[in-house]
A and B are shown apart, each in its own frame.
Chain A
Amino acid sequence: MDLSAINPILLIAAMIAAATPILLAAIGELVVERAGVLNLGVEGMMITGAVCGFIIAVNTGSPTVGFIAAAVGGAVLSLLFAFLTQVALANQVASGLALTLFGLGLSSLMGQSYVGIKPPRAEATPLGPLAEIPIIGPILFGHDLMVYLGLGIVAATWAVLKFTRMGLVLRAVGENHDAAHALGYKVKRIRTLAILFGGACAGLGGAYISLIRVPQWTEGMTAGVGWIALALVVFASWKPWRVLLGAYLFGGITQLQLNLQGAGVAIPVEYLAMSPYIVTIIVLVILSADKSRAPGSLGRTFHASG
């Protein structure tokens, strides 16, 4: 065992990068679920975002444009889900699963001629002297823009849900869509907007994997991150800061266990490999011991006649 091989600064920086795709996808899904819609298509929207972002970034040479395209791609795919569940009143679980399968297939089709191509590099955010601060600099200020954007989205989501009228309306729609409808709120419109937001966030998360974390395009490259994000929303009891905590815990322990393996720690690898799942679940379950519960109308189809 040689723990000195682990560089804590690099480790924490890697943790933050590993957590970002999960965080982005989960915060988007959180908003969707707070509006009372269960979209199981996160994985499909992520991989679509990953391939859209990759294609556009390669063709324009700009990762930023790629990320915008990823958000648009994810949102467009989620529009399909919105149409199925809000207009055609289809079952949300089935539509969501279909969206994942469709997204996986569509992305491999779109990405066929992009296998093995290198995307343009995303530069670290120029934070000037901040990045020069010893220890804190490389941990906190040496990242790409998406890391900060992810944190910003979490903070904004929390503030909007908690303090604004818009957030209150969104939560009302999620808690009791009939009551919200009786008060004159456009349930379907609000839900569609929430679904679009969720799609855009998932797309950004996917593009973070294809443009920054891996960076390349391979079929099926999100490899289940979308499902982890979905689970995270539940374990975080639909609260933004807990999503952040859960994503960092999960990403962090994933990185930590790789580092421990590399350093030759004498813990059986199987335990290390399952540790991110277990620790994240335990911590979030303990946290959710308070009386938080799922939005009242989650997963239920709304029809104005009802």
Chain B
Amino acid sequence: MKLTTLLASAALALGLAGGAMAQDKTKVGFVYVGPVGDGGWTYEHDQGRLAVEAEFGDQVETVFVENVAEGPDSERVMTQMALDGADLIFTTSFGYMDPTNNVAAKFPDVKFEHATGYKRLHPNVSTYSARFYEGRAIQGHIAGNMTKSNIIGYIGSFPIPEVIRGINSAYVHAKKVNPDVEFKIIWVYTWFDPAKEADAAKTLIDQGADVVLQHTDSTAPQAAAQEAGGVVTFGQASDMGQYAPFPRVSSIIDDWAPYYIARTRAVMEGTWESQDTWDGIGAGMVGIGEITDAVPADVREEALALKAALADGSYHAFTGPLNKQDGSPFLADGETADDGTLAGMNFYVEGIEGDIPQ
């Protein structure tokens, strides 16, 4: 009898100690769609993870799984992370949207943060994204000025609002400075496949494009442009500075570190709440990589002025008058697009040729 009580209390004590140990460290999990060495999208998320470690030191433990396919596989990975005691899980690709919500339903005590999505079906799911389209506006401005063939190639990943917004924003601002500009868009249906991205870039260049914008994660299009010579590119998601000063003349850099640190702190302090964050250049979530000397000085100045205006909110990347592709009005003169419209954008603006795959 005494022995049983002793054992039971010992077990209880151990259990409590174990619980206390687990609470000591906040465990943060990251699910990546590509390898951390992709030099683009996943690389920047991993930089954010490292920033969390640097900020909190021994108080946190981070884990990550890379190359997780969008779909059922990702659900398995998230479940495993939650079972392993993660307190906070960042799922960093659009295709993890439903899996994140499914797993969140099963683990109400674990906080989930889904990047670039819009579904928050449970109180333990937040979404966050960056206003990449602000950076696209600057790219469009530079691209429109620098193209000589007036053909700008665009490598699209998946036809989702985030990518379509980028195409529209770049087109609007390229057209503004160069009315003859034409966009050629190729959808590769992958976020990361260097060979396919390189093929798409080469195809666009073969078809006359002398500026190639990409919404995929690897640096392969940069290499293809360099090989072809005389073709302008922009770093995507990460600086891709190894291709500067030419072909890479500028870049959009995602800076997730401040957000990841803030959210981890919120979990530690128990102040975490479901929310939707959508920050741009102003908040520092979207950075513009150095505009190199390959860009004429006046274009550079204009681009920087555009960046400043986007940052302080005096200019919105989608400001009317703008029509949709079919000619129907989108924004009246001076009107700006609201976030709801932007979040679900599934149409091209007037002037872009071709259909969005449905």
Chain A residues at the B interface, C-beta cutoff of 8 Å: 5-7, 10-11, 14, 18, 21, 108, 111-112, 115-118, 121, 209, 213-216, 218-223, 225, 254-255, 258-259, 261-264, 266, 268-270, 273
Contacts and interface: CB of A to CB of B under 8 A. Distances in A.
A232 B353 CA distance: 36
Contacts of B188: 258
Contacts, number: 110
Contacts of A111: 37
A225 B207 contact: no
A112 B224 CA distance: 21
B293 interface: no
Given A218-B194, A218-B220, A223-B194, A262 B204 contact: yes
A213 B198 CA distance: 7
Nearest to A254: B199
Nearest to A9: B206
Contacts of A263: 184, 207
Contacts of B193: 223
A255 B199 contact: yes
A268 B218 CA distance: 25
A262 B204 CA distance: 7
Contacts of A269: 159, 187, 189, 357
Across chains A and B, which 8 residue pairs bring their CB atoms closest together, nearest first?
A219-B35, A269-B357, A116-B242, A258-B203, A223-B193, A221-B194, A5-B207, A10-B206
Interface of B: 34-39, 67, 153, 159, 184-190, 192-196, 198-200, 202-204, 206-208, 218-220, 223-224, 226-227, 242, 353-355, 357-358
20 contacts: A7-B207, A14-B203, A14-B206, A21-B195, A108-B35, A111-B37, A116-B242, A117-B242, A213-B199, A214-B194, A214-B220, A218-B35, A218-B37, A219-B35, A221-B195, A223-B193, A258-B188, A268-B355, A268-B358, A273-B187
Contacts of A254: 196, 199
B195 A264 contact: no
B278 to A, nearest CB: 28
Contact of B38 (A7, A219, A255): A219
A7 B195 contact: no
Contact of B206 (A11, A112, A209, A266): A11
Contact of B187 (A5, A10, A223, A261): A261
Nearest to A222: B195
A218 B198 contact: no
Contacts of B37: 108, 111-112, 115, 218-219
B358 to A, nearest CB: 8
Contacts of A11: 206
Nearest to B154: A262
A258 B199 contact: yes
A112 B223 CA distance: 18
A268 B37 CA distance: 33
